[in-house]
Amino acid sequence: MQVLDGKVAVITGAGSGIGRALAEQLAKEGCALALADINQENLESLAAELRLAKVNVSCHVLDVANRAAVYAFADEVLAHHGSAQIIINNAGVAVSQTVADLSYDDFEWLMGINFWGVVHGTKAFLPHLLKNNDGHIVNVSSIFGIIGVPTQSAYNASKFAVRGFTEALRQEVQCTQVKVSCVHPGGIKTNIARSARFYRDMSGNQDAARSAANFDKIARTTPAEAARVIIDGIKRNNPRILIGADARLLDRLQRLMPVSYSRILAKLTGNRGS
């Protein structure tokens, strides 16, 4: 089991959801924290809470899609904390839209954060980890990085890409002491559905409020529960971390029925297209 006490953990998307829960729980594990988020208000409220508990924390307002900004962030973290051992690339957004109606602007916006944000965060810190021959990179994909879902083509593309990138990286560093994990959450009770740019169902209806309400019905895992699973996975050096009974079920379904799982999902969800 990996001991986390005394290590420096870097978390993107730390202002809310899984990122915030990770920060709170890693602080209790004895980690110093470098927290990044694009929402300064959320970031500062979390930092204030942690500093009351005497946690060594630095805050960084950051757009992970901006490569230069992420590299500057890495420099700031190393200057402030002296090192970094746990890198959690967690920041993410959603776009719910059919392929036919998905705009390139929205596709590029999502990929910039969900995929390129992971690449930027990995590459900015990887040289430091390799130099010290120590550390753990944790990239957050999704169960949607394992199965494809209608109206989620952009999100699927980003999360499948995170999975492939992370699995390749893990093989590249296997002869070192740098560990790599890919996280696949199922439905987590976060604000990602509410902040999604669009909702478009297979009948052509668009309703963001309905999308968020539907997501809340199927999202059964809390951010705190998800964070506990991720931290346990880090401690155990698990290369693949599935979160939630739904993620475990869908993962098995995809492996057993790699082509026909979509028909079963359609029956379960009642979403058979227009």
Fold of 8-269: Rossmann fold (3.40.50)
- Could you read off the pLDDT of 81-120 as tens digits, one per residue? 999 999 999 999 999 999 999 999 999 999 999 999 999 9
Percent of the chain clearing pLDDT 90 (strictly above): 78
**146 torsion bin: left (phi>0), alpha (psi -120 to 50), beta (else):** alpha
Whether 212 has a pLDDT exceeding 90, the answer reads: no
- Could you read off the pLDDT of 115-149 as tens digits, one per residue? 999 999 999 999 999 999 999 999 999 999 999 99
pLDDT bin (cut points 50, 70, 90) of residue 202 is very low
Looking at the annotation, which residues are catalytic?
A: 155
Question: Using an 8 Å Cβ cutoff, are 51 and 27 in contact?
Answer: no
Domain ranges of the chain: 8-269
Write down the pTM of the prediction.
0.88
Look up residue 146 and give its DSSP letter: T
- Could you read off the pLDDT of 233-245 as tens digits, one per residue? 999 999 999 999 9
Nearby residues of 151 by Cβ (< 8 Å), 6 or more positions away: 96, 97, 98, 199, 200, 201, 202
Whether 216 has a pLDDT exceeding 80, the answer reads: no
Question: Using an 8 Å Cβ cutoff, are 179 and 136 in contact?
Answer: yes
